[in-house]
Structure 1
Amino acid sequence: MRLAPPSNSNPAGDRPRTAILVVDDNPNNLSLAVEFLAATPFNVCVAMDGETALEIARLVRPQIMLLDVMLPDISGFEFCERLKQQPDFQGIAVIFMTVRSEPQDKARGFAVGGVDYITKPLERLELLSRLMSHARSQARIHALEQQQQALQRQYQQLEARHRSLLTDNHRLQALIHLDSLTQVGNRRCFDTRLGEEWLRLRRAQLPLSLILLDIDYFKAYNDFYGHPAGDDCLVQVAQSVGRVLKRPGDLLTRYGGEEFAIVLPASDVAGALYVADRIQAEIQQLGVPHAASPLGPLLTVSQGVSTLVPSMDQSVLQLIQDADQALYLAKRQGRNQVIHRRHASLGPSPEST
């Protein structure tokens, strides 16, 4: 036996009506329940066995189920237990109906997932009072679930926004530390990374090398070819130097004007000089014309190299000053060469090139 639920129309228009599924194998009990629930804010469906009840539950999704303990195909306790194992039905408030009122029966009903117990014969006032109470509880639970879902959506939106902001921040940080012309690190990037590497290698007691590179007679180049050509020259030099650097930790930055700085973590004197010599060869192979240079027809660079092992009694400024002095000597001694200067604690310097 099955009764179709009444229309969901609600004259008050304030909230949807609660669906109740009554499951009992006695037609008289079903008729009595339907009679009691007439003219109430409930949509009522009925079923006479567990299989039909499950089918209706899938279609109607009732909030409350009045369930007889004794059904023809399955006990009410077993039916409730199986029902509660299915995620879609775990929220149904199951109220057991039975003529038996022994404590052990009630305890079993609660153990399998029931929320209440009502004895037969049904009494209208008691039935309505219990149903109204559970309907209010179900409404509160539904409201809390809706709030939880809304909060979950808000959380997911905030998470997405947070990830977007992190991405934007990483991009911004990259732009802040990037030279807009040459697309290598800028002076801010140099200062930050050199300081970080200084502290890291001081702890590890490993050498740190720095190369300062200056394009020879760059002012004359700009005056002769024009500033747009000068900008293009800076880009070509940056790209050429970048091709020489193979290790992920090596850093190329534009130090200022026509100067570049190359930070070589964990690179000793020989390693730093090897990189500097490769840069000299790369620039020569680049073959950029420089008709205004007294050194020859092609663009050349001068490099100052410094190496030391960071320690507590030294400052990173010492490394920069040594490289700057080496660059000064390279330019003073005719340019287009590499001069190395390192701290006295490293011992004698190998021959400069």
Structure 2
Amino acid sequence: MNLQSCEKADILIIDDQIDNLRLLSNLLAKRGYRVRQAVDGEMALIAIDTETPDVILLDIKIPRLDGYGVCSYLKKNEKTAEIPVIFLSAFDEILEKTKAFEVGGVDYITKPYHTQEVLARVETQVKLSLLHQKLQSNNRYLKRQLKLSEAAQEFHAQPQIDAYLLHQAIAATYNGIIITDATHSDNPIIYANPGFERMTGYSLEEVKGKNCRFLQGSDREQSGILELHNCIQEKRECSITVRNYRKDGILFWNEVSLSPVKDESGQVVYYIGVQTDVTQRKLAEEERQRYEASVHKMNRELHELNTKLHRLANLDGLTEVANRRCFDETLEHEWRRLSREKQPLSLILGDIDYFKLYNDNYGHLSGDDCLKKVAQAISSVIHRPADLVARYGGEEFAIILPNTPTSGAMQVAQKILEEIRQLQLPHKASKVQSYVTMSLGVGTVLPTLGISETTLINQADEFLFQAKKEGRDRVVSYPV
């Protein structure tokens, strides 16, 4: 594939941004490519139907039918399914790239464009596209020659084929063609065309009488080789891809189509193998797989990071219950939800009794340890997924109880008091008990959009104040 053939390639650019169209068109036209343009999905499909391009540069965000839709449509059409599509986007999002490859894209270029990157990616796909077209053309030519042979056998008792024409056709094809003798157990090569010589570096004289296994050398542990062996044993056609090695030792990927040739009695006497060097395609496929694996790994790491960040953003670092930010967001969310469902919302506000004296007497490290144990005790009472325990501030804790009337909230509050009492954390400076206690206020409202959630907070706070006023170590709320 030479540069001159690449420069004659037809490239269709699809982008609704005129500046981008002009930039890419000038860049590729100076390189010698034939460039066409379209500004939306429908115009693009008309242009493609009028004349099939060799490569398409396709912006994701275009009107009428977006880039994903255009690419999906092309891949479903047999006439356009093999056109390489390079996606263009101003975003470098992993999900966008993944979707671009899922719908059939072969590459991805992000804006702003870098001249060398654009030219390199376009030239690679142009070479692959033109090579694919040439291979298809050669295959069609070979099929026509085979039909000529079959027609000659049908109309003549002794097949008469223009040997010179057939020789020229086989010599001209880009594919490697070999014929092996199936009447010998080792299937030795009896013919190899110039395409085979160009592909492998071996001449007919060097390979004649050998089995094709010499092309794999010691690299015999391949699934394709086992399939080829079974094909020969069962005397049937097959198509495989194997790793072969040229005469100079360089590896290349070889796509082999093997077909048996039978004599008049139905016995297989020859095998014809058509070989195609698919190294570039294989490398591109491996690169795509590596990219997809990298994308999958990045997505997994991002998910883990987002989970960790979400946890850090919503948890109190000391007590590991929800923080004030999470409390505010949850209360607002539940307020809106329950205002639609016409269901009650209860809130418990709790304060560790005489916690300042606890810190003064035992020190702040012990105070932190006390806060952790109180948080764990409160959390052990809360079991419903929608309920939330949060550190409200300092030594204050808050418990949100959706779909809960006053009676239910009071039961929860009493259990919290009991759990904290059972801790029996010493508190000699307390004016209530010789151990840590807590005062709780319980508020309950039926949320409506006409009032604010601060109404519930103020109500619970008032009852908390009343609990302290009445002697602490207790729960105060509306009479049940």
TM-score, normalized by length of structure 1? 0.65
Q: Say whether 1:235 aligns with 2:372.
A: yes
Task: Show the counterpart of 2:47.
Answer: none
Aligned partner of residue 212 in structure 1, secondary structure: strand
- Pick the aligned partner of 2:324 from 187, 190, 215: 187
Instruction: Kindly indicate whether the alpha-carbon contact (under 8 Å) linking 1:330 and 1:337 is maintained by their aligned counterparts in 2.
Output: yes
Which residue number in structure 2 is paired with residue 91 of structure 1?
A: 255
Q: What secondary structure is seen at the aligned counterpart in 2 of 1:151?
A: helix
Q: Partners of 2:441 and 2:474 in 1: how far apart?
A: 9
2:423 corresponds in structure 1 to: 286
Q: CA deviation at 1:328?
A: 1.7
Give the gaps of 5 or more residues in structure 2.
Answer: 1-174, 225-232, 244-253, 264-271
- Check whether the contact 2:345–2:404 (CA below 8 A) recurs between aligned residues: yes
| Residue equivalent to 2:308 | 171
Cα distance in 2 between the residues matched to 1:215 and 1:163:
42
Distance 1:143 1:87 in 2: 13
Residue of 156, 171, 191 corresponding to 1:33? 191
Alignment of 1:91-240 (within 5 A): 91-93=255-257, 138-139=276-277, 141-240=278-377
Question: In the aligned structure 1, how far is the partner of 2:360 from the partner of 2:369?
Answer: 14
Corresponding residue number in structure 1 for 2:408: 271
Secondary structure of the structure 2 residue equivalent to 1:79 = coil
Q: Report the CA distance shift for 1:301/1:97 in structure 2 as closer, same or farther (over 3 A).
A: same
1:124 corresponds in structure 2 to none
The verdict on how the C-alpha distance between 1:38 and 1:317 changes in structure 2, with shifts beyond 3 A counting, is closer
Aligned residue number for residue 324 of structure 1? 461
The verdict on how the C-alpha distance between 1:94 and 1:144 changes in structure 2, with shifts beyond 3 A counting, is same
Instruction: Determine the C-alpha separation between the residues in 2 that align with 1:60 and 1:331.
Output: 81
- The amino acid of 1:284's aligned partner reads R
Q: 1:204 to 1:88 in 2, by over 3 A?
A: farther
Q: Is the 8 A contact 1:19 1:60 kept in 2?
A: no
Q: State how far apart, in whole Å, the 1-side matches of 2:436 and 2:199 are.
A: 91
C-alpha change, 1:25 and 1:318, in structure 2 (3 Å) is same
Contact 1:254–1:261, Cα closer than 8 Å, also in 2:
yes
- Aligned partner of 2:236: which letter? F
Give the C-alpha shift of residue 142 in structure 1. Answer: 3.1
Name which one, 1 or 2, has greater alpha-carbon Rg.
Answer: 1
Q: How is 1:58-77 mapped onto 2 (pairs within 5 angstroms)? A: none
Q: For residue 289 of structure 1, report the CA deviation from its aligned partner.
A: 2.0
Residue 46 to residue 285, structure 1, CA distance change in 2 (3 Å): same
What's the counterpart of residue 473 of structure 2? 336
Counterpart of 2:384 in structure 1 is 247
Contact 1:272 1:305 in 2 (8 A): yes
Q: Secondary structure at the match of 2:376?
A: helix
Task: State the secondary structure of the residue aligned to 1:33.
Answer: strand
- Mapped contact 1:276–1:303 kept (Cα < 8 A): yes
Cα deviation per residue 1:135-182 (whole Å; 9 max; x = unaligned)?
7xx33x431232122112111111111111111110121012111211
Indicate the SS of the match to 1:92. strand
Task: Give the aligned residue type for 1:215.
Answer: I
Structure 1, unmatched stretches of 5+, are 1-17, 64-72, 100-116, 118-130, 342-348
Query: What does residue 79 of structure 1 align with?
Result: 236
Q: Measure how far apart 1:247 and its partner are.
A: 2.1
1:198 and 1:91, CA in 2 relative to 1: closer, same or farther beyond 3 A?
A: farther
Structure 1 residues 295 and 87: CA distance shift in structure 2, 3 A? same
**Does the CA contact (< 8 Å) of 1:24 and 1:47 recur in 2?**
no
Query: 2:451 is paired with a residue of what secondary structure?
Result: coil
In the alignment of these two chains, the number of paired residues is: 273
CA distance in 2, matches of 1:295, 1:25: 102
Whole-Å Cα distance in 2 between the matches of residues 229 and 60 of structure 1? 67
User: How far, CA to CA, are the matches of 1:227 and 1:60 in structure 2?
Assistant: 68
Separation (CA, whole Å) in 1 of partners of 2:456 and 2:426? 33
Q: Return the alpha-carbon distance in structure 1 between the equivalents of residues 339 and 196 of structure 2.
A: 85
The CA distance in 2 between the partners of 1:241 and 1:31, in whole Å, is 83
How far apart are 1:55 and its partner, in Å? 12
Q: In the TM superposition, what whole-angstrom CA distance separates every residue of 1:101-147 from its partner, at most 9, and x where no partner exists?
A: xxxxxxxxxxxxxxxx9xxxxxxxxxxxxx9xx87xx33x4312321
Contact 1:22 1:47 in 2 (8 A): no
RMSD across aligned C-alpha pairs, in angstroms?
4.1
- Out of 192-201 and 259-268, give the one that drifted further: 192-201
Whole-Å Cα distance in 2 between the matches of residues 171 and 97 of structure 1?
65
Q: CA separation of 1:220/1:31 partners in 2, compared to 1, >3 Å: closer, same or farther?
A: closer
Alignment identity in percent?
36
Q: Secondary structure at the match of 2:414?
A: helix
**Residue identity matched to 2:255:** G
Name the SS for the 1:335 alignment partner.
coil
Partners of 1:254 and 1:260 within 8 A in 2? yes
Mapped partners of 2:284, 2:417: distance in 1: 67
In structure 1, the residue matched to 2:161 is: none
Alpha-carbon distance, 1:94 to partner: 5.5
